[in-house]
Amino acid sequence: MAQRKRATIREVAQATGLSPAAVSYALRGMQVSEETILRVRQAAAELGYEADPIARALASGRTGMIGLLCGSLEDLWQQSLAVGIGRSLREKDRYALILDAAGDPARERTLALQLRDQRVDGLIVQPVDPAARFWADLADSLPVVAIGDALQNGHTAAEVVFDNRRGVTMALEYLREKGHRRVAVLTPTRPSTPDRPADVHVIAEAERLGLDIEVTTARQGLADSAGVASEILSRADRPSAMFCFSDSIAYGVYKAAAELGLSVPGDVAVMGYDDHPMSELLGLTTVNWDLDGIVRAAVRLVVAASDGKTRRRRIVQAPDLRERVSV
């Protein structure tokens, strides 16, 4: 079967008795009456007209694409974030180009620059290395909205940052109140990027609270996090609690404990940090950051910035402790 030829804007103009320019304005909801907009859009739908994205980009200087660079899509919370942002952007007639830095700062830099070269209209990033120097040049060339941690060397269009000081303090104080003094902290942060706010603050807060902590890197994938947790839990002097900077890492602790015949929380307490929907089923005590609110804020800010509304915004996301049965 021959492929149907794409209807043109001239055919829509002929069907409505308008000029191609008036049809173009109507399809974009500009400079014409509401009645004309409805008439043109109805005709376009009947003819099967779809705007040529390449022609539209050349005419407007915009691609309609928003880059979304995730720190690691092994993390189930970041998967949910990507789904939410992609759907929310589509509702605003934008499309998400989603890439995965896989927890690697070098890969993050390469992908961020590729998105810039592909001329996305804006970029949303949950950075692996918020202190990297390349962010300064990148933020000067396109609107960037950071989620989680602020970009220390980039003048971002907007930020939706987590109040990690409050979140970490809330978690450690809760563990201390429950009688825990030796706590293992599992973080996805690599030794090459040691200055992420949550990791810095957890050491300071542990000292203030008199806790004996050990910070260990673990990837968010189930096999990797379970392997790291298994090594810690196999020790004779294992900690009484595991505080994980990702619920996905906490799931690995559950897996390791089960394989070692240990119970949660009888033998080891487990605490997460982002409240993925699965955590309620497991009874995981965790810190909630309002995923839906983050999605709405990030999309609103990146769309405004890509439309040229340059007033810089900083939203600080407050944490909320979700107490369940794992501690």
Distance CA 284, CA 278 (A): 9
Per-residue confidence (pLDDT) for residue 38, from 0 to 100:
87
Query: What is the arithmetic mean of pLDDT over 195-212?
Result: 89
Backbone dihedral angles phi then psi of residue 283, each to the nearest 5 degrees:
75, 30
How far is C-alpha 315 from the geometric centre of its chain's CA atoms? 15
* pLDDT at 42 exceeding the cut of 70: yes
Distance CA 309, CA 219 (A): 37
Share of the chain above pLDDT 90, in %: 69
> 224: exposed, middle or buried (C-beta count within 10 Å: 0-12, 13-18, 19+)?
middle
**What band does 2 get if pLDDT is binned at 50, 70 and 90?**
very low
pLDDT digits (tens, 9 = 90+) for 88-129: 999 988 999 999 999 999 999 999 999 999 889 999 999 999
**What band does 5 get if pLDDT is binned at 50, 70 and 90?**
low
Write a three-state SS string for the chain: CCCCCCCCHHHHHHHHCCCHHHHHHHHCCCCCCHHHHHHHHHHHHHHCCCCCHHHHHHHHCCCCEEEEEECCCCCHHHHHHHHHHHHHHHHCCCEEEEEECCCCHHHHHHHHHHHHHCCCCEEEECCCCCCCCHHHHHHHHCCEEEEECCCCCCCCCEEEEECHHHHHHHHHHHHHHCCCCEEEEEECCCCCCCCCHHHHHHHHHHHHHCCEEEEEECCCCHHHHHHHHHHHHCCCCCCCEEEECCHHHHHHHHHHHHHCCCCCCCCCEEECCCCCCHHHHHCCEEEECCHHHHHHHHHHHHHHHHCCCCCCEEEEECCEEECCCCC
**What band does 194 get if pLDDT is binned at 50, 70 and 90?**
low
**What band does 262 get if pLDDT is binned at 50, 70 and 90?**
very high
pTM: 0.79
Please, what is the angle between helix 76-91 and helix 247-259, to 10°? 150
**Distances 314 to 160, 200, 298 between C-alpha atoms, Å:** 6, 21, 10
Average pLDDT, rounded, for the chain: 90
Per-residue confidence (pLDDT) for residue 198, from 0 to 100:
84
**What band does 15 get if pLDDT is binned at 50, 70 and 90?**
confident
Tokens (6 digits) for 237? 């002097």
Query: What is the arithmetic mean of pLDDT over 170-194?
Result: 91
**What band does 24 get if pLDDT is binned at 50, 70 and 90?**
confident
* pLDDT at 58 exceeding the cut of 70: no
**Distances 300 to 78, 159, 292 between C-alpha atoms, Å:** 18, 11, 12
Half-sphere exposure of 311 (CA within 13 A, CB side): 2
**What band does 6 get if pLDDT is binned at 50, 70 and 90?**
low
Per-residue confidence (pLDDT) for residue 8, from 0 to 100:
81
Backbone dihedral angles phi then psi of residue 213, each to the nearest 5 degrees:
-120, 155
pLDDT digits (tens, 9 = 90+) for 280-322: 999 999 999 999 999 999 999 999 999 887 677 899 999 999 9
Distance CA 270, CA 5 (A): 59
How far is C-alpha 24 from the geometric centre of its chain's CA atoms? 35
Tokens (6 digits) for 208? 């203030």
* pLDDT at 232 exceeding the cut of 50: yes
* pLDDT at 181 exceeding the cut of 50: yes
